[in-house]
Every structure is written in structure tokens, then in C-alpha cells.
A and B are shown apart, each in its own frame.
Chain A
Amino acid sequence: ETGVTQTPRHLVMGMTNKKSLKCEQHLGHNAMYWYKQSAKKPLELMFVYNFKEQTENNSVPSRFSPECPNSSHLFLHLHTLQPEDSALYLCASSPGASGSREQFFGPGTRLTVL
């Protein structure tokens, strides 16, 4: 247990569906991250939130919409995804978003887009 939980662990959705991924951290951290991990590609940083404010958006398509209502919760809203969006989506948290960024990761959500 890393102190970061993600739900659901597995998700299958059609291209016209709307779904949301949830991440929760119990570590008292101030920064939270969404990553995409595809086969044979480096881990891709998608979004960074620090004290509930988005500080990084790495050219992520608008069909991915993040939401951070507080420092402990992070959501990723999914809408009209493409099959190439199928991947493992990882959430992480760290004490802060600058300086040393030792991150703690959740177990991930395995997403399949049909």
C-alpha cells in the first residue's frame, strides 16, 4: 500500500461513453499527477496539480478533462475517447510540485477503449 488509491482498477468503454477515473491520496501531500503508460513508451506526464491548481498540462487532448476538488482527490473525466487512448492510467502524489518530487503512485486503472 502506497497511500494512493485508484478506482476503478479496470475499465472498458466505448468511444461514445463518458466515464471518470478517481484517485485519492491519504498522505497529506499537496501535489497530484496523472500519467499515461502505454506499451513500449515512456511514462507520459499528463497533468500536475499543486494545492488544487493545475500547474502543468502536457498538450493533452481535450477529451481528457482533469478535476482536483481538493489536495486529496483527483479525477480524470473521459469523453469520446479513441482506441489509442487504451493504456494504464496512473495517479501519483508528492509533498510538493517543485523541488524534490518523490512521488507515490497508485495501482493504476487499466483502460480499454473499444
Chain B
Amino acid sequence: SQELEQSPQSLIVQEGKNLTINCTSSKTLYGLYWYKQKYGEGLIFLMMLQKGGEEKSHEKITAKLDEKKQQSSLHITASQPSHAGIYLCGADIITGTASKLTFGTGTRLQVTL
């Protein structure tokens, strides 16, 4: 099983609709990062969350980290074609006395007109 589970794997939404992507771990996350990737290109950093209950927003994208620091959600309000791409969550997962940098499998988002 994956250390970071993302859901859904893919999503098709109509322009203007809201959507949510989830990232879940069974272990405590030291740091949680959200990235966006255009197909075949590098990852663009969106947001970083570190504290339980933390919430950050940038333009129409809001990310939250739950109090237990095991789940994060990414919410897009009034989606636009420019939001299309692959969204990946990454995290420092605490293993013993060290942390391991791990990524989810990604959520592919399509926005239709």
C-alpha cells in the first residue's frame, strides 16, 4: 500500500464548479506539500502546511491539514481550464527518529468548458 493515498485518481469537472482532492496517510506528517504538474513537465510548488489545523489559500486554491496531521485536502473554487493538470501531495513522513520524503500517485484534473 502507498504511504500517501490520494483521491480521486482522476477528476473531470465543468468550468466554474468546485472540487476537492484528498491526501491521506496512516502516519504523522511532518510537512505536507501540494504541487501541480503539467503533463510531462516539472512540478510547480503550490503550498506547504506544517501545523495541525493549518489552512492556506492562494487565489482560488485552499489547502488544509487536519489536526492529527494525517490528512490534507486541496479545494479549488470556481474551477477554470488553467487549473487542469496533475496535483500531487508530498510529505515528510515520520519514521522512527527520521523523516522520509514521499509523494502520492497524483490526481489528474480535467476542466471542461
Q: Interface of A with B (CB < 8 Å)?
A: 2, 4, 6, 40-43, 45, 48, 88, 90, 92, 98, 100-108, 110
- Cα distance A40–B106 in the bound complex, in angstroms: 9
For residue A57, give the distance in angstroms from its CB to the closest CB of chain B: 13
The answer to whether residues A42 and B40 also contact, given A100-B48, A100-B50, A102-B48 and a CB cut-off of 8 A, is: no
> With the chains together, A88 CA to B37 CA distance in Å?
12
B45 touches A102 (CB 8 A): yes
- Taking a contact as CB atoms closer than 8 A, the residue among B2, B42, B43, B44 that contacts A42 in the complex is B2
Tell me if B31 is interfacial: C-beta within 8 Å of chain A.
yes
Q: A42-B103, A101-B31, A101-B92 are in contact. Are A88 and B40 (CB under 8 A)?
A: yes
Using a CB–CB cutoff of 8 Å, the interface residues on chain B facing chain A are 2, 4, 31, 33, 35, 40-45, 48, 50, 88, 90, 92, 99, 101-106
Rank and list the top 4 A-B pairs by shortest CB-CB distance, nearest first: A105-B42, A43-B103, A105-B43, A107-B42
Q: Chain B residue with minimal CB distance to A108?
A: B42
Say whether, besides A100-B50, A102-B33, A42 and B105 are in contact (CB < 8 Å). yes
Inter-chain contacts of A45 with B (CB < 8 A): 101-103
CA A68 to CA B52, docked complex, whole Å? 36
Q: Are B105 and A90 in contact (CB under 8 A)?
A: no
Cβ contacts A to B, 7 pairs, < 8 Å: A4-B42, A43-B90, A92-B43, A100-B31, A100-B50, A105-B44, A108-B40
Query: How many Å lie between the Cα of A102 and that of B45 in the bound state?
Result: 8
Nearest Cβ distance between residue A104 and chain B, in whole angstroms?
Answer: 6
Chain A residue nearest to B43 (CB atoms) is A105
CB nearest neighbor in A for B88? A43
Nearest chain A CB to B10 CB, angstrom units: 11
Chain B residues positioned under 8 Å from A88 (CB to CB)? 40
Query: Bound complex: CA of A4 vs CA of B42, how far in Å?
Result: 10
Task: Please name all residues of chain A whose beta carbon is closer than 8 Å to the beta carbon of B33 when the two chains form the complex.
Answer: 101-103
Q: How far is the CB of B41 from chain A (nearest CB, A)?
A: 5
